[in-house]
């Protein structure tokens, strides 16, 4: 599997999720079987590049290659500059966000709202490709199936993007209008795949090895991208890889192994965010990790009262040790994934960075 000239170890990708797929989480996904992981979106607004939030997002220290940065914005020149800025900071692939439905992004005509304005969408793609091509950096595009059920224009935009030099297209099988409701459909993804020569990645509601296999078969896609199902279950990538290779299910991870991965994640997380923000933003990852486990809800509530890294780490370690006494293997690991279709946070890099500095 290649994106432009860049070879990937497999075709299982971690989806960009603002507020989730920061560097520590991407690293963990890659370690546990993801062949590729896209950053949280980085705004094209220069005035926000020096904000703590954006500078954290543009920090790729120690990240396993290829480093892929998603950019979001509404102005072709600004998007081209954002691409160059992120390449200077280590990006090896630039992804254009035409998939995010968050309201504040859409009010600014970024994200999936761009699909409603095809000339502007294409202008942005052309400008970003022009900025990246001289530096040998492939450009990818992530989009939805269209704006609404009567306006499914993913195929038209994908063909235009391919002609403009885009190296891969990812399609989330929902319209912008759907938000995260209903189910993803894969016929539009299959139509895009059938029409394009560049790789196509299918995305939306993939939460099990069987679903991964079925989506690959139904769409003929070159790759699949997983978002919410990896929250609290980053080892889903290796579970899928094993199933696709052997037709058999990997056993759930040992409870103490899951504990070790979570503690490793927490330490990386604190190193990036510091104690105050780190403890608070780690709560969601811990919550996802325990939500489907016996006693997980009670632990989540208690954990939300802890205010220091030491206390958080100790509580997590003790809780998993006690669970391991009862369950050598992680119980309900599959239920955790099926329960994963939670609403996304309205994370917005365009507007709210000042409020989200902590
Ligand atoms: C919390 C959250 C944040 C997201 N942020 C982004 C983003 O920054 N850029 C983007 O293209 N998509 C974003 N998405 C959409 C995901 O990349 C993905 O397309 C969507 O969740 C469907 O895949 P899934 O069913 O595997 O979760 C986000 C989704 C969630 C749940």
Lowest mean pLDDT among 1-5, 148-152, 282-286, 324-328: 148-152
Q: What is the pLDDT of residue 352?
A: 38
Q: Between 42 and 119, where is the model more confident?
A: 119
Q: Whose CA is nearest to atom 31 of ligand 1?
A: 344
pLDDT bracket for residue 50 (50, 70, 90): confident
What is the C-alpha to C-alpha distance for residues 44 and 248, in angstroms, rounded to an integer?
A: 44
Q: What is the pLDDT of residue 336?
A: 44
- Determine the average pLDDT of the residues in 140-165: 95
Instruction: Give me ligand 1 centre to Cα 102, in Å.
Output: 10
Ligand 1 touching residue 289 (CB < 6 A): no
pLDDT class of 348 with cuts at 50, 70, 90:
very low
Which of 42, 203, 227 most suits a substitution to test ligand 1, by most atoms within 8 Å of the C-beta?
A: 227
Cβ(173) – ligand 1 distance below 6 Å: no
Q: Tens digit of pLDDT for each residue in 272-282?
A: 999 999 999 99
Mean pLDDT of the 261-274 span: 97
> Which atom belonging to ligand 1 lies closest to the Cα atom of 170?
19
Q: Residues 184, 173: contact at Cβ < 8 Å? A: yes
d(CA 344, ligand 1 centre) in Å: 7
Mutation probe of ligand 1 site: the residue of 176, 344, 348 with most atoms within 8 A of C-beta = 344
Q: Tell me the CA–centroid distance for residue 15 and ligand 1, in Å.
A: 6
The least confident of 72-86, 159-173, 311-325, 344-358 is 344-358
């Amino acid at each position: 599997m290649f994106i432009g000239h860049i070879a990937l170890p497999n075709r299982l990708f971690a989806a960009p999720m603002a507020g989730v797929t920061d560097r520590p989480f991407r690293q963990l996904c890659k370690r546990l079987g993801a062949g590729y992981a896209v950053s949280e979106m980085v705004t094209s607004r220069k005035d926000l590049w020096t904000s703590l939030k954006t500078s954290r997002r543009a920090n790729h220290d120690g990240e396993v290659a290829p480093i892929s940065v998603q950019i979001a914005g509404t102005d072709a020149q600004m998007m081209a500059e954002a691409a160059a800025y992120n390449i200077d900071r280590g990006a090896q692939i630039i992804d254009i966000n035409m998939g995010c439905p968050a309201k504040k992004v859409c009010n600014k005509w970024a994200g999936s709202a761009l699909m409603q304005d095809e000339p502007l969408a294409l202008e942005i793609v052309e400008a970003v490709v022009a900025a990246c091509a001289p530096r040998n950096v492939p450009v990818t595009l992530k989009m939805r199936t269209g704006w609404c059920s009567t306006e499914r224009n993913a195929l038209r935009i994908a063909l235009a993007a391919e002609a403009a030099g885009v190296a891969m297209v990812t399609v989330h099988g929902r319209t912008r209008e759907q938000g995260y409701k209903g189910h993803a459909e894969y016929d539009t993804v299959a139509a895009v795949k059938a029409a394009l020569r560049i790789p196509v990645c299918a995305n939306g509601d993939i939460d099990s090895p069987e679903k991964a296999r079925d989506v690959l078969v139904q769409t003929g896609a070159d790759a699949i991208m997983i978002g919410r199902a990896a929250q609290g279950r980053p080892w889903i990538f290796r579970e899928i890889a094993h199933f696709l290779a052997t037709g058999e299910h990997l056993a759930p991870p040992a409870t103490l192994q899951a504990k070790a991965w979570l503690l490793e994640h927490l330490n990386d997380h604190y190193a990036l965010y510091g104690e105050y923000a780190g403890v608070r933003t780690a709560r969601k990852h811990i919550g996802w990790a325990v939500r489907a486990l016996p006693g997980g809800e009670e632990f989540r509530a208690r954990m939300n009262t802890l205010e220091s890294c030491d206390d958080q780490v100790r509580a997590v370690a003790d809780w998993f040790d006690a669970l391991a006494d009862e369950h050598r293997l992680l119980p309900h690991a599959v239920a955790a994934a099926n329960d994963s279709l939670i609403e996304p946070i309205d994370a917005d890099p365009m507007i709210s960075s000042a409020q989200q500095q902590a």
